[in-house]
Amino acid sequence: MTAQTPDTPPVLSPPDDEHPRAGALRTVLVELPYLLVLLAALIAAILVTFDRWRRGVFVLGSALLLGSLLRALLPSQRAGLLQVRGRLFDSVLMASAGVAVLWLATSIDSLGTDSLQ
């Protein structure tokens, strides 16, 4: 710290100078909503890979609805990569895709269920 005269105000350093990892932490926290949706989509892909396609598609549709809800509720500064266009456009597009995927997952009969009866 430098010597100061009584008539000069103290010089405050920005918080990032004191904590160099604060910028990285802030970046991760801003992208947390996107990472949650991405994690749910990854779980959906794993389920589909292991022949649980209906559950996987249901999880994917739910992930899209979660992304739509997060985009609608979070401010633009916190939306991270969920922000592509305007808030209304992003929310409506993801919600529409989520509803369509959920409808497909619930409306298509399971493969091979007729042979079990």
pLDDT at 116: 46
Q: Which residue has the higher pLDDT, 20 or 117?
A: 20
47-102 pLDDT, tens digit per residue, is 999 988 899 999 999 999 999 999 999 888 888 888 889 899 999 999 999 999 99
- Whether residue 14 is predicted with pLDDT greater than 70 in this model: the reply is no
For the stretch 33-38, contacts whose Cβ atoms lie closer than 8 Å and that sit 24 or more positions apart, written own/partner, are 33/67, 33/70, 33/71, 33/74, 33/78, 33/79, 33/80, 33/82, 34/67, 34/80, 34/81, 34/82, 36/66, 36/70, 37/63, 37/64, 37/66, 37/67, 37/70, 37/82
Give the pTM.
0.71
